[in-house]
Amino acid sequence: MFGFAARRLLSAIPTLFAIVTLAFFMMRLAPGGPFDSARRLPPEIERNIAAAYHLDKPIFGQYVDYLARLAHFDFGPSFRTRDFTVSQLIANGLPVSLKLGAAALAVAILFGVALGIAAALRQNRPGDYAAMALAMIGITLPTFVTAPILTLIFGIYGVTLFGVALTLPVGGWHDGALANMILPVTVLALPQIGIVARLVRGSMIEVLHSNFVRTARAKGLPGHLVIVRHALQAALLPLVSYLGPAVAGLLTGSLIVERVFGIPGIGRYFVEGAINRDYTLVLGVVICYAAFVIAFNLLADLLYAALDPRVSYAR
């Protein structure tokens, strides 16, 4: 088990390295730099700025320098947001993004699993079709469509639920107040709810037809116990390996959601940084994202190996 984890952790290093390298050279391929402006600066000032940020060195030297600093977890200064290092900016934004993403992941798993099980237990009946239609809508409608439309309905027009007039805030974060989180978390979770529901429905149907479930029924176990104690465990196993892709999907969605709802997370830094050529900031955020995707893929592998006795660690 330990060796398996260590091997998988080591194999993440070349992936991370590839991402850093690709992103670094991509940013530098294009003409223009972070300090270009409409007003032409005197050449000596330009030279001084370039020297201060080590942009005057040959590009490969800059790359080696960057890797060396990265080894000490130093992402360097932000080129555009003066007086801030990239690490400070990420430290500001990351907790917000994390809270948003974790809430969305929890909502997606909770509702997705419930929907999937409900559909599987009513296979090929109206309830099943309704649940799968819902899942299809969630998967198909992109975040940048659902975000404004839900904002319009729940944030601007307002709805009345059970006699309570409800108008949710359309933006801002307020340190993650519940009212501020409802819309962004819903929008972010919707596609994942759909995918999880489909996944769980498929595996649940397969498990319900398997012999050990028939045996459990045959020995007279009540229906709900068969499902909770026997079927559910086996049916939720495929969900574990979906963890990695789910996190990647949430990160992509968070770029849109943070922008639409004005949430001060790292997704906004990334888009703004890319447009402003803030090389170090973009690289820092990409590394952060990549680390998350890799970590969750690794976690999924380990969990799967721990949960499924058929998987052996020695390979």
Q: Provide the minimum distance between the beta carbon of 123 and another protein in the complex, in angstroms, as a whole number.
A: 17
| Residue choice 181, 231, 282, 305 for contact with another protein (CB under 8 A) | 282
Q: Provide the minimum distance between the beta carbon of 263 and another protein in the complex, in angstroms, as a whole number.
A: 15
| Residue choice 97, 151, 180, 254 for contact with another protein (CB under 8 A) | 151
Under the binding rule (CB under 8 A), the answer on residue 234 touching another protein is: no
Under the binding rule (CB under 8 A), the answer on residue 105 touching another protein is: no
Q: How far apart are the first and last CA of the chain?
A: 11
| Size of interface with another protein, in residues (CB under 8 A) | 43
Under the binding rule (CB under 8 A), the answer on residue 13 touching another protein is: no
What are the tokens at 240? 């574990």
Alpha-carbon distance 59 to 28, whole Å?
A: 8
DSSP for the chain?
-HHHHHHHHHHHHHHHHHHHHHHHHHHHHSS--TT--SSPPPHHHHHHHHHHTTTTS-HHHHHHHHHHHHTTT---B-SSSTT-BHHHHHHHHHHHHHHHHHHHHHHHHHHHHHHHHHHHHTTTSHHHHHHHHHHHHHHHS-HHHHHHHHIIIIIII-EEETTEEE----S--TTT-HHHHHHHHHHHHHHHHHHHHHHHHHHHHHHHTSHHHHHHHHTT--HHHIIIIIIHHHHTHHHHHHHHHHHHHHHHHHHHHHHHTT--SHHHHHHHHHHHT-HHHHHHHHHHHHHHHHHHHHHHHHHHHHH-TT--S--
Q: Provide the minimum distance between the beta carbon of 148 and another protein in the complex, in angstroms, as a whole number.
A: 4
The residue (of 237 and 271) whose beta carbon lies closer to another protein is 271
Q: Which of residues 251-270 bind another protein (CB under 8 A)?
A: 251-252, 255-256, 259-260, 270
Under the binding rule (CB under 8 A), the answer on residue 147 touching another protein is: yes
Q: Provide the minimum distance between the beta carbon of 295 and another protein in the complex, in angstroms, as a whole number.
A: 11
Under the binding rule (CB under 8 A), the answer on residue 149 touching another protein is: yes
Under the binding rule (CB under 8 A), the answer on residue 141 touching another protein is: yes
| Residue choice 80, 198, 201, 277 for contact with another protein (CB under 8 A) | 277
Under the binding rule (CB under 8 A), the answer on residue 275 touching another protein is: yes
The residue (of 15 and 48) whose beta carbon lies closer to another protein is 15
Q: Provide the minimum distance between the beta carbon of 97 and another protein in the complex, in angstroms, as a whole number.
A: 14
Q: Rounded to a whole number, what is the largest CA-CA distance in the chain? A: 87
Under the binding rule (CB under 8 A), the answer on residue 134 touching another protein is: no
The residue (of 134 and 271) whose beta carbon lies closer to another protein is 271
CB 132 within 8 Å of CB 198: yes
CB 288 within 8 Å of CB 80: no
Under the binding rule (CB under 8 A), the answer on residue 192 touching another protein is: no
The residue (of 234 and 281) whose beta carbon lies closer to another protein is 281
| Residue choice 9, 52, 110, 152 for contact with another protein (CB under 8 A) | 152
Could you list the residues that contact another protein (CB under 8 A)? 14-15, 18-19, 22-23, 26-27, 29-30, 32, 136, 139-142, 144-145, 147-149, 151-152, 156, 248, 251-252, 255-256, 259-260, 270-271, 274-275, 277, 282, 286, 289-290, 293-294, 297
